[in-house]
């Protein structure tokens, strides 16, 4: 056992027909205990480790856990998220910490070989891990709706905001100018989410519960009070000039109505020597939840 031991706290059968089991427990991280779960730990394929988005969100097993019929699928909640401990000091929330934390999670789970899956901010975290830690055991990456550059992300978001009705655009402008994000602003953001985050209404209950569980303090430190304009620690985050340093096979995925521009995904793919890309039709930022069958077929093809 390494310096980040893990403790199993439960074992249940989640699908008797496929005989897939799920375990959950905790890893001792540098700043607190980190919750994890694993589906199909006994499967023979190269393990898949899922890195959730946010920052401040939490693990969602829906759809991705289905891949445990072929390989172990691991999830973990980042520090301050979901079932993991909160940081004792808000300054502990940083790109540098989370990059090191991912290394600790891989070590704690004893994953000598692994495929990393990152969604949104999680994709940025995965790429930061590859560039800074240079791990040898990571065999491939899957980057879903990847946030890899603040300036590029903001540019894409501005294009989408400009297509909203003018009264909505004005509400956003006023909120960001006054730094006051009230009921009208959040009403506009819900309309934005229906167009570009989860485009198939109504939102499923599990997604609404996850959104309600976001650690807003963490989100504010890392991102800022506005979803559209970054003012937190991620303000200077930009991996785009270094993507060519990632040499493992990479699958990049987005929805055709995503918060990121499809042309941005193409630019990211072209920057990588072994990049592939797929665009999920009639879907947004949560394309894996909106079009699960297409999404799983694309991912399985890449993994094969």
Catalytic residue among 120, 128, 145, 149: 120
Whether residue 144 lies in the annotated active site: no
Whether residue 226 lies in the annotated active site: no
Whether residue 258 lies in the annotated active site: yes
- The Cα diameter of the chain in Å comes to 58
Burial class (CB in 10 A: 0-12, 13-18, 19+), 159: exposed
Q: CA neighbours within 13 Å on the CB side: how many for 78?
A: 30
State the residue for tokens 């692994």: 114
- Backbone angles phi and psi of 298, in degrees to 5: -65, -45
Catalytic residue among 84, 145, 258, 288: 258
State the residue for tokens 């990588």: 272
Angle of helix 150-161 relative to helix 183-196, nearest 10 degrees, comes to 100
Angle of helix 121-133 relative to helix 95-108, nearest 10 degrees, comes to 80
Give the span between the Cα atoms of 46 and 70, in whole angstroms: 9
Q: CA neighbours within 13 Å on the CB side: how many for 178?
A: 10
The structure tokens listed for 64 are: 């991705």
Give the span between the Cα atoms of 271 and 240, in whole angstroms: 8
Sheet containing 6-15: give its strands across: 6-15, 20-28, 33-39, 73-76, 48-51, 114-119, 138-144, 250-255, 275-280
The structure tokens listed for 231 are: 């003012």
Catalytic residue among 4, 52, 285, 288: 285
Q: What is the DSSP letter of 5?
A: -
Whether 293 contacts 304, CB under 8 Å? no
**Residues designated catalytic:** 120, 258, 285
């Amino acid at each position: 056992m390494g310096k980040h031991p893990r403790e199993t706290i439960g074992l249940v059968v989640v699908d008797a027909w496929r005989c897939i089991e799920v375990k959950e427990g905790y890893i001792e991280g540098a700043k607190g205990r980190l919750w994890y779960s694993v589906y199909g730990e006994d499967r023979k394929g190269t393990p898949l480790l899922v890195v959730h988005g946010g920052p401040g969100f939490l693990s969602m097993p829906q759809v991705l856990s289905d891949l445990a019929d072929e390989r172990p699928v691991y999830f973990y909640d980042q520090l301050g998220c979901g079932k993991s401990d909160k940081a004792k000091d808000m300054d502990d929330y940083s790109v540098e910490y989370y990059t090191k934390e991912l290394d600790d999670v891989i070590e704690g789970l004893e994953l000598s070989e692994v495929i990393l899956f990152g969604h949104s901010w999680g994709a940025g975290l995965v790429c930061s891990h590859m560039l800074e830690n240079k791990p040898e055991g990571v065999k491939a990456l899957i980057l879903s709706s990847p946030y890899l550059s603040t300036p590029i992300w903001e540019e894409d978001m501005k294009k989408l905001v400009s297509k909203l009705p003018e009264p909505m655009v004005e509400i956003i402008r006023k909120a960001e100018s006054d730094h006051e994000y009230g009921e009208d602003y959040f009403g506009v953001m819900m309309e934005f989410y229906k167009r570009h985050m989860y485009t198939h209404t109504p939102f499923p209950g599990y997604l609404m519960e996850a959104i309600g569980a976001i650690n807003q303090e963490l989100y504010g430190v890392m991102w800022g009070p506005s979803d559209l304009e970054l003012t937190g620690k991620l303000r200077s985050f930009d991996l785009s000039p270094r993507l060519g340093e990632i040499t493992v096979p990479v699958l990049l995925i987005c929805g055709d109505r995503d918060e990121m521009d499809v042309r941005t995904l193409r630019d990211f793919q072209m920057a990588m020597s072994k990049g592939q890309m797929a665009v999920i039709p009639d879907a947004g930022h949560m394309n894996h939840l909106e079009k699960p069958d297409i999404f799983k077929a694309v991912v399985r093809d890449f993994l094969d």
